[in-house]
Amino acid sequence: MDDTSVFDNLSAEPRDMSGLFDRIERARSSLQQTYAHLNDAQMVAHGPDGGWSVKDHLAHLTTWEAGIAALLRREPRWAAMGLDDAIVRQNDEAGVNAIIDQHNKDRALPDVLADFEHTHRGLVAVLKQLTFDDLLKTYSYYQPNEPGVDSGRPILAWIAGNTYEHYEEHENWVRAVVEHVTGGGQAG
């Protein structure tokens, strides 16, 4: 996910680390509650029209979250996502997402769930090492060798787009999968 879909008005977003952690955890918790009552077979069942399963959505979110964590650690972002620079340059976001889906489609549900938790803990650990002022620096501060990506917007926009905004976006799709695999019924 790039920063073109994230907020344009920083005043509407977190103003400190506490606010950022709250937004991330509220959106993540809401997403998790959407599918918490599903059994394993329902977690891996395709969504409407043969679309992604809940497992597929979680693997996708995990991959992008791993990328933002690597970026903040000043490590190669694309490598952390299982991609190489050439593949990323040759594809738009939809193409990159299709490659991510191919990388994850045959993974076992327990592995995806464990990675979903592990990767998130890693991102939270990285964020705890930063100050809010660090989040106002740009992409190139964290990835100076990745030309052409920096829009000049604070890295906070990238964090939002790869955490709480991304969870919120996928929660709608996950809800549709849940309704499809449960016949429309959902607890909670």
Structure confidence by residue, pLDDT tens digits, 14-38: 989 999 999 999 999 999 999 999 9
Residue 151, classified by CB atoms within 10 Å of its CB into exposed (0-12), middle (13-18) or buried (19+), is: middle
- What pTM, to 2 d.p., does this model score? 0.89
Structure confidence by residue, pLDDT tens digits, 121-161: 999 999 999 999 999 999 999 988 876 667 788 999 999 99
